[in-house]
Amino acid sequence: MLRAETNHRRFVESQWQDTLVFAGYAQDAWVSGQRYQEAAWPALVALWASYNDHLIHVVRTTSPTLLQQTRAAHNLDELAWRPVPRAEPATLGYLIEDYVAHLEHHLAQMRRLVAA
């Protein structure tokens, strides 16, 4: 859920920014503060699915030009799951693809847990 919330902001803000520089966040504090462990699993899954459905809408309605626009200034070397060296330009499209790859990684982890 946390990545969806954080990347939602990044995907939208990058539409009017000239950079892909974003603030980080205190992941453990966010998880603790929202008390996910105390929430009903079906409700969390429904929220996660709904949030990601909205992100699909955001991505589909983002201009292809914006998705492909290279940005010299970024901090994806710090924030991306698959980092981009700071000296190389990056795109919003890459940031979105990185988010999806990270989601797929976590889904594979969950599938392995369920299968065990």
107 torsion bin: left (phi>0), alpha (psi -120 to 50), beta (else): alpha
Q: What mean pLDDT comes out for the span 84-108?
A: 96
Is the confidence at residue 57, as pLDDT, over 70? yes
Average pLDDT over the chain reads: 94
Whether the full predicted model's pTM is greater than 0.85, yes or no, is yes
Of the ranges 2-6, 25-29, 62-66, which is most confident? 62-66
Residue 71: predicted pLDDT: 98
- The conformation of residue 90, written as its DSSP 8-state character, comes to E
Closest CA to 110 of 51, 56, 44, 25: 44
Q: Which residue in 53, 24, 47 sits closest to 34, CA to CA?
A: 47
